[in-house]
Chains A and B, each alone.
Chain A
């Protein structure tokens, strides 16, 4: 166990990094010209007004995110095993193989379903 002070150090570090970032943004905001023009503020479309609205996008990304969550949960289960693999011995190994096998069965299923085919 690390002492709690180490975790306070993380907060200090975060504070320092955030301060630098804010300082950079402030410098950028204060310096430099300020000449807004309607054409300048338009979203990118080579000078034309963009056609269509920004709202819908392919559902693929949702699927990828969902799969990522599932597998990340799997990894979260595997970390505690990884640290204690030796002491847990053969029983632990069998349990982990069963667990990984179940998740991988799901993975094979979605792979054969063609989730990763982008066309």
Chain B
């Protein structure tokens, strides 16, 4: 019976994420338009609210082309891998206390290896990208995918090392316990600001957002690893990218901004506060996209290896020394 509820919750989360993805595309287009003093899509439905639906129907009914000489099985598997492992990461995030979801727990998974699990599934995104480039049998796709994969693994390091320091303070890898620790001792962003910065920058790179969006740089290398994909397969790659973005915008508050707990002395309302924080971060990501230029590929790699990684490692050692000599949190 318990497993049935898990399946129901997982289905809800997955469908919710797909809906969120669809509307994120709309929100992003509208906001980008606002940043540039124009209106954005507002013709399909009231305020453009049916635009995502129109896009979805269009991409399902387009012809599904498999390129000549493509590796058929891998060509089909790549988008599937991308989307599956993008969806799977979200289930860890706690949206409230136990039993807040109509008597059920407001999370799908609650494992003590939470953070390691997150890294495992986000590494799988690299497979999706790389296999897509390889299976297309096109040199542009291959080069685009290699670049994307190299960038992804480079920033994955920044991601991992930046999270070591908060874990030293909390002493647990379980996301729920990290949130509770913050409720007791104050938000981790106050204790761990450098880690927060590195983690946020690295997640932006992981979700392939500007300034790190080389994988989908439309003017360079013919748009990267999904050059040869059409209709639903292409849509699945886009979907995976946006799901990564939504997951990132939920993860950052969960890890550094007190999770579902209310800021200051406002009442704790499950779901509400985390959604507010997610919206803030999504807005921030879109704002950055509208404002900033893109890094060149060599700058991108140098920034990851030369800046993020040393900063995160030094900060890890500093935190460890602090915990050892101060004996934990004051």
Enumerate chain A interface residues (CB-CB to B < 8 A): 1-2, 5-10, 12-18, 20-22, 24-25, 27-29, 31-36, 38, 40-44, 50, 52, 54, 57-58, 60-61, 64-65, 67-68, 71-72, 75, 78-79, 81-86, 88-90, 92-93, 96-97, 100, 104, 107, 111, 116-119
Measured CB to CB, the nearest residue on chain B to A10 is B109
Give the segment of B45-53, B149-157, B182-190, B258-266 that binds chain A. Answer: B149-157
Note all chain A residues with C-beta closer than 8 A to B110.
2, 6
Measured CB to CB, the nearest residue on chain B to A1 is B112
Note all chain B residues with C-beta closer than 8 A to A38.
68
CB proximity of A74 to chain B, nearest CB, Å: 8
- B248 adjacent to chain A (CB < 8 Å): no
* Distance in angstroms between the alpha carbons of A44 and B15 in the assembled complex: 34
* Distance in angstroms between the alpha carbons of A28 and B60 in the assembled complex: 5
- B181 adjacent to chain A (CB < 8 Å): no
* Distance in angstroms between the alpha carbons of A90 and B294 in the assembled complex: 44
Out of A35, A43, A79, which one reaches B69, CB within 8 Å? A43
Docked-complex contact A9 and B3, CB < 8 angstroms: yes
Docked-complex contact B83 and A24, CB < 8 angstroms: yes
Given contacts A12-B10, A17-B14, contact A84 B171 (CB under 8 A): yes
Note all chain B residues with C-beta closer than 8 A to A15.
7
Out of A25, A33, A43, A44, which one reaches B233, CB within 8 Å? A25
- B142 adjacent to chain A (CB < 8 Å): yes
Note all chain B residues with C-beta closer than 8 A to A64.
150, 153-154, 301
Out of A10, A24, A92, A118, which one reaches B232, CB within 8 Å? A24
Number of interface residues of B (CB under 8 A): 89
Docked-complex contact A118 and B87, CB < 8 angstroms: no
Note all chain B residues with C-beta closer than 8 A to A10.
88, 109, 111, 117
The B31-81 residues at the A interface (CB cut-off 8 A) are 59-69, 76, 79-80
- B25 adjacent to chain A (CB < 8 Å): no
- B323 adjacent to chain A (CB < 8 Å): yes
Measured CB to CB, the nearest residue on chain A to B165 is A82
- B192 adjacent to chain A (CB < 8 Å): no
Given contacts A14-B84, A97-B317, contact A85 B324 (CB under 8 A): yes
The B1-33 residues at the A interface (CB cut-off 8 A) are 2-3, 6-7, 10-11, 14-15, 18
Given contacts A28-B60, A71-B157, A117-B298, contact A8 B3 (CB under 8 A): yes
Note all chain A residues with C-beta closer than 8 A to B136.
43
Given contacts A50-B138, A79-B164, contact A17 B64 (CB under 8 A): no
Note all chain B residues with C-beta closer than 8 A to A57.
142-143, 146
Measured CB to CB, the nearest residue on chain A to B227 is A44
Which of A31, A42, A96, A97: most chain B CB closer than 10 A? Answer: A31
Out of B141, B232, B310, B317, which one reaches A96, CB within 8 Å? B317
CB proximity of B228 to chain A, nearest CB, Å: 6
CB proximity of B205 to chain A, nearest CB, Å: 14
* Distance in angstroms between the alpha carbons of A66 and B3 in the assembled complex: 40
Note all chain A residues with C-beta closer than 8 A to B142.
54, 57
Docked-complex contact A118 and B298, CB < 8 angstroms: yes
Measured CB to CB, the nearest residue on chain A to B8 is A16
Out of A24, A71, A86, A97, which one reaches B323, CB within 8 Å? A86
Docked-complex contact A42 and B313, CB < 8 angstroms: no
* Distance in angstroms between the alpha carbons of A47 and B72 in the assembled complex: 22
- B290 adjacent to chain A (CB < 8 Å): no
CB proximity of A69 to chain B, nearest CB, Å: 9
Note all chain B residues with C-beta closer than 8 A to A20.
14-15, 18, 83, 87
Please provide the 3 A-B residue pairs with the shortest distance between their CB atoms, ordered closest to farther: A28-B232, A118-B298, A43-B138
* Distance in angstroms between the alpha carbons of A78 and B110 in the assembled complex: 23
Note all chain B residues with C-beta closer than 8 A to A24.
83, 232, 235-236
Docked-complex contact B233 and A28, CB < 8 angstroms: yes
- B160 adjacent to chain A (CB < 8 Å): yes
